Amino acid sequence: MTLVCGVDEAGRGPLAGPVLAAAVILDAGRPIEGLADSKQLTSRQRESRAREIRARALAWSVASASVEEIDALNILQASLLAMRRAVEMLAVKPEQVLVDGLHRPLMDIPVRAIVKGDTKVAAISAASILAKVARDDEMRALHRRYPEYGFDRHKGYPTPAHLAALLEHGVSVVHRRTFAPVRALLGIGQQA
């Protein structure tokens, strides 16, 4: 049996916080019901599935690329970096990596990109769920440090409330300076 790892990321579009990626090798002997793209599940369903994935998967890991890495590399390259880190952190080395999307991280094992893979491949769906749950947890932690931005509600996405908070409070150290809405505000408000 070939050890196949599914990989997905969470947090490419937000204006703040790291991008996270998860890698999952499912155990064929311990199937998990109800795997789906994390965006199709409620927060409660994602949390429940994440616990099950962590308990039943043969191996799993979550890794990130920081705001500084996102700004230095660009969001695509930072996402690929987080994906590679997640695969490298696995306790079991996979023989093949399946990644959601169009782009593949450079690795020393075969990697295949699958468009909409999070809806087609169970291991990618599982990775999607773990990445989303981990990123939401990270944004709740950032909310405790920077409550004025409301990260617990919008998770860093450019909602009207987030943009208004940026105007009122300025750009924090956890905002991605290379993202257009933040870049545009850098000359307006003071840094928090």
136-182 tens-digit pLDDT: 999 999 999 999 999 999 999 999 999 999 999 999 999 999 999 99
Give the SS3 label for residue 159: coil
- The amino acid occupying position 7 is V
Closest to 134 (Cα-Cα) out of 83, 59, 64, 36: 64
Would you write out the chain's pLDDT as a tens digit for each of its 192 residues? 789 999 999 999 999 999 999 999 999 999 898 887 677 889 999 999 999 999 999 999 999 999 999 999 999 999 999 999 999 999 999 999 999 999 999 999 999 999 999 999 999 999 999 999 999 999 999 999 999 999 999 999 999 999 999 999 999 999 999 999 999 988 744 444
Question: What percent of the chain has pLDDT above 70?
Answer: 96
pLDDT, position 99:
98
pLDDT, position 186:
85
Pick the CATH number of 4-144 from 3.40.50.150, 3.30.420.10, 3.40.50.2020, 3.40.50.720: 3.30.420.10
Asked if residues 23 and 7 have their Cβ atoms less than 8 Å apart, the reply is yes
pLDDT, position 189:
43
Question: What percent of the chain has pLDDT above 90?
Answer: 90
